[in-house]
Structure 1
Amino acid sequence: MLVKQKGIIIKTVDYGESDKIITILNEHGAKIPLMVRRAKKSKTGLQATTQLFVEGLFIYNKWRGMGTLNSIDVLNSHYDLRMDLFTNSYASLCLETIDGALDAEQVDAQLYALLSFALTQIDSGVSAQLVANIVMLKCIYYYGFDINLTQCAIKHTEQPGEFVGYSFKYDGVISRAVAHLDSHLMPLSNKVIYLMAILKKLPLSKINSISIHDDIVEEMSQFILLIYKEYAGVYFKSQRMINQLKRFNINLE
């Protein structure tokens, strides 16, 4: 059966000397593994079109098991995402987060929309680190947990200006007046808490041009990575590369 589907390549694995297995997230939100024959041969023209982040119309044969790719009509190669190591690493973090959120047999069109949004935003010049934060905030539910960012977990007040940190003891943000009740409180600026609460709930269609100071974005990242570790036991491989790049930059300075 010949199938035509729009999708984005989220994973590639070399297979033998000349072949490759790619996984696309199709427009319906399903992960589709495809065998690409002679993908590593320059004469086939498939080397450039079967890389991560490539978005296109995929035409493949599908019977039982894995499909076999026939051709790709590239819609957007997202070439620039691969040229800068930091941008590439954060874009890979987006892929890894969405890939981990979706089981092999699960279908969720919202995740395809989220990935398409993320790559488009990074292409347009939005901070790749900020986009990765948005993706991770949007994927929290898929990893089986949630976080309270809008109400003090002890006093139950909803005054963002009073929030001073997040408590894993009480599973929520904490107001200044009761911060002494958790000696292990993770300090967070109220601006970071407020912005994360907005980005977590705001529909993608409402998120247009985004500009947030780098220090705030970094504070967000540290918190979001910690909640994934604490609540879901997840540590992203892409983050290891990001940490290494940051240490390398510090050493150079």
Structure 2
Amino acid sequence: MQYRVQGIVIRTTDYGEGNKIVTLFTREYGKMGVVARGVKKVKSRYGSTVQLFTFGDYSFFKSGGLGTLNHAEIIEAFHKIREDLHKAAHASYLAELTDRMMGDQEGEPFLFDQMKASLQAIQEDKDLQIIGHLYEMKMLMHAGYQPELEQCVVCGQAAEPAVFSIGLGGMMCERCRLRDPQAFPLTPGVYKLLRLFVRMDVRRLGQIDVKPQTKTLLKEMMRAYFDQHVGLRLKSRDFLDQMDKYGV
């Protein structure tokens, strides 16, 4: 069957001497793998079209497992991302997160739009951490792990939030907070951002100014929540942690 799709390159793997296996995140069909033959050769006309993060039009024939690429055109190359270490590292995290959490040919048009908008936001110099958390929340919601932020996870009352329980999966009120001694304190700033991440479309993200202490607490909470409920070990996240550790 012949496919013609718009897709984002989220992973590439060398295959033989001159070929690559390219994983595309497509709007209509979700994640799809295609073989791009000869793209490692200097004169290949498709070499630039299968670089990581590239958004383009792709045509390929697929009858069983992997498809075979027979045409590709770049729509947006996202050069600024690949030319900047910090941008590339954060974009790689989003790409790996998508690759690991999405099943093959699991069409999710909304998530595709969020991924493309996240890359655009990274290219436009918007806050890298906030972009990452926004996309993380969309993936959590897709996987069925959306945290409870509207009512206490213990008593069910829509009371003023006091803490956030990683293990119980959401906010707790003052009366119930002792049910989880390890719960994170839920400051107004962090609570507002968590609810924003659930409701906001990445395509509407503007410039945002968040206090450093709020971002630190938010990062700790999101990391702990992902580790508890999703449990994926991602090389790209380890690399981001190394960059933070050594102040790169």
Give CA deviations for 1:27-79 in whole Å, capped at 9, x if unaligned: 21421211111111111143332111000111223333322112321010111
Report the Cα distance in structure 1 between the residues aligned to 2:4 and 2:166, rounded to whole angstroms: 47
Q: Compute the displacement of 1:147 (Å).
A: 1.1
Give runs of aligned pairs for residues 34-183 of structure 1, distance below 5 A. 34-154=34-154, 156-158=156-158, 162-168=160-166, 170-183=168-181
Distance 1:220 1:177 in 2: 23
* In structure 2, C-alpha distance between the alignment counterparts of 1:52 and 1:224, rounded to whole Å: 26
1:211 aligns with 2:214: no
Counterpart secondary structure, 1:49: helix
Distance verdict in 2 for CA 1:43–1:214, change over 3 Å:
farther
Q: Which sections of structure 2, spanning at least 5 residues, go unmatched?
A: none
| Distance (whole Å) between structure 2 residues aligned to residue 45 and residue 248 of structure 1 | 39
Q: Equivalent residue for 2:4?
A: 4
Deviation digits for residues 93-115 of structure 1 (CA, Å, limit 9, x no counterpart): 11122222321142221221111
CA contact (8 A) 1:7 1:58 kept: yes
Contact preservation (8 Å) 2:26, 2:107 = no
Q: Partner of 2:218 in structure 1?
A: 220
Q: Specify whether residues 37 and 224 from structure 1 end up closer, same or farther in structure 2 by C-alpha distance, changes over 3 A only.
A: same
Residue 47 of structure 2 aligns to a residue whose secondary structure is coil
Structure 1 residue 120, shift from structure 2 partner:
1.3
Contact kept, 8 Å, 2:29 with 2:105, in 1: the verdict is no
Q: Distance in 2 between matches of 1:52 and 1:16?
A: 19
Identity %: 23
Q: Return the TM-score normalized by structure 2.
A: 0.89
Report if the CA contact (8 A) 1:225-1:235 is conserved.
Answer: no
Superposed CA deviations along residues 8-32 of structure 1, whole A, max 9, x for unmatched, are 1111001122111101112214212
In the superposition, relative to structure 1, how do residues 246 and 168 fare at CA in structure 2: closer, same or farther (>3 Å)?
closer
TM, length-normalised to structure 1: 0.87
- Paired letter, 2:209: I
Amino acid at match of 2:206: S
**Alignment partner, residue 233 of structure 2:** 235
Shift of 1:222: 2.1
Cα pair distance change 1:75/1:218, threshold 3 Å: farther
Partners of 1:29 and 1:61 lie apart in 2 by 14
For residues 176-200 of structure 1, the C-alpha deviation after alignment (integer angstroms, 9 at most, x for no partner) is 4543443212223221122111221
C-alpha deviation, 1:244, in angstroms: 0.5
> In 1, Cα distance between the equivalents of 2:66 and 2:84?
33
Amino acid at match of 1:41: K
Change in Cα spacing, 1:164 to 1:73, as seen in structure 2 (3 Å) is same
Checking the alignment, whether the CA contact within 8 Å between 1:29 and 1:111 is kept in structure 2 is no
| RMSD (CA atoms) | 2.2
The Cα shift of 1:165 comes to: 2.2
- CA 1:9 to 1:170, structure 2 compared with 1: closer, same or farther past 3 Å? closer
- Of stretches 145-154 and 89-98 in structure 1, the one that deviates more from structure 2 is 145-154
Partner SS state of residue 9, structure 2:
strand
Structure 1 Cα separation of the partners of residues 174 and 82 of structure 2: 43
Asked whether the equivalents of residues 97 and 135 of structure 1 are also in contact (C-alpha less than 8 Å), the reply is no
Q: For the residues of structure 1 that align with 2:245 and 2:237, how far apart are their CA atoms?
A: 12
Q: 1:27 to 1:185 in 2, by over 3 A?
A: closer
